[in-house]
Amino acid sequence: MYFDFSALPAQTQYNLLTATVTPRPIAWVTTRSNAGVVNAAPYSFFNVMGHQPPTVALGMMRHARGALKDTAANILENGEFVVNLVPERLVMEMNQTCADYPAAVDELEQAGLKPLPARHVHPPLIQGCPVSLECVSIASVITGPLQTVVIGRVLAAHIDDSVVLDPEQGFVDTPRLGLISRMHGGGWYGRSTDLFQLARPVDAALKPEMATE
Domain annotation for the chain: domains and CATH numbers: 24-211 (2.30.110.10)
pLDDT band at 87, cuts 50/70/90?
very high
Q: Which of 159, 210, 136, 174 is nearest to 25 (CA)?
A: 174
- Calculate the average pLDDT of the chain: 93
Encode pLDDT of 107-136 as tens digits: 999 999 999 999 999 999 999 999 999 999
Whole-number pLDDT of residue 40? 97
Residue 164 identity: V
Answer whether residue 212 shows pLDDT above 70: no
Answer whether residue 211 shows pLDDT above 70: no
Cα gap 203→67, rounded to integer Å? 52
Reported pTM: 0.92
